Structure 1
Amino acid sequence: MALIKKIRTNSRNGDISALLTLILKAFAKNDWSADTYLKPVIEKMRVVNMALIEALQRLRVYSQMAEKNRVRNMAIRDLFKLVEGYVHIPVAEMKEAAWVVENILKQYGLGMQYKDYAEESAEIASLLNDLSEPDVVTAIASLQGVAETITALEAAQKDFENVALQEAEGESAKKDLVSASNLKKETIAELNANLVDYLNTMARVKPGTYEAIAKTIAELIDKNNEWVKRRRKTDKVDSGMV
């Protein structure tokens, strides 16, 4: 039976990045430069791991964008709901002021939150600009809580734009970056074919040199595989970048 088992192909992006990091640390404890086969394999693992870490950072930015978008959508709904309440309030002065704001909101509609990120951002910017007109500001002053809700929307929009800028800068600098999932698949195939088989063979041929590192790698892969096997439910889809 082989000492080192194959890495499970259903390991996640983060699993493989963590595993690669630990494998590289294990190899770093000794000098393998004399092994002309193993040396380039280790170097390739190092390069791929850096690319995978970079890709995962990009994925985290996408995740942050989704969360920031959720927050600004909540602010939009809060504003529409609050103003709608004032429209139906039986106080003439407040009702009149509410209609000034409501007429602007109707031009945009709650449907803006279902548009793509860029289009929604443009509509929010336009809405906030309309709400800053002097007559509208006067009307808003009569409606308790509306000004604060608009401020919350402005803050949520700025937060979203800051994260979107990070993503855009990443796209510009690394437009040819391979997706995290593709890197993961390539890494698993590379390790299973070129590292696992080689170390299993060399641990038998030259146990004095390779048995210890083979046992370490076997333990690391076993822990990864066991974790993947036990994990049943996830809260995030393991997807590549588009």
Structure 2
Amino acid sequence: MTDTPTETQGRDFVDADLTGARFTRVDLSRAVLRAVDVQGAEIDAPWLMEVGGVLLVNGVNVAPLVDAELDRRFPGRSLRRAGDPAGLRVAWAALEATWAATLARVEAMPAGTVDRQVAGEWSFAQTLRHLVMATDVWLGRGIRGIEQPYHPIGQPNAEYAMDGLDTSIFSPEQPSYDEVLAVRAEHVAQVRDFIATVTPEVLAEERRNPWDPAHPETVLACLHVILGEEWEHHRYAVRDLDQIEASAT
């Protein structure tokens, strides 16, 4: 479909065959699907619980069920909304342990796995580079107020624009995986060190939202974004690693 958003908003699609269609960065908020065949359909909505947590399937709100199942599959994920320094330290330690296990899994996979892309998604190495960028955005710029905290190895989202972001600072060259791991480890340590000494008073302080400076965020909210980014991109990475392994059998 090539319709622009203004051409499709509020339209009715009756007896339409969308078998195999792929929707990326599409807004389906308040969309209504009636008498539809969704066998084998796949929905990925990472902000589902953050924007109301309502997804009705046959009249049942499945959003909380999905969230609970993800918490079961990824131990430690449920800690991502910790609200005090002690809880944040436990949450970050759990996240580090999860990533350590996944890094070990990748290390044992065939050479080149870290650069393989599944269905056009980021490779494992690119995912780690994006998390470097996310740390720079929300810890470096958001919490610490550094105007240009970005490491050249970072992987920005091409579809998003940040006020004052000079994308020319990002290296067009593909870095080695060892370099990616080293920079990623430094950024993980930055968050760990910050959380190690943060106080409740600092968590409550306001900062400028790095994407929307007119909208204030607390330090705690910025840390929650970092935790959310980490868990969601870990989920994506594991999903694609599973597909890579399945395709090799």
- Category of TM-score, reference length = shorter chain: under 0.3
Question: Which structure has greater strand proportion?
Answer: 2
Question: Which structure has greater helix proportion?
Answer: 1
* TM-score, normalization by structure 2: 0.27
Higher relative contact order (CA 8 A, sep 6+): 1
* TM-score, normalization by structure 1: 0.28
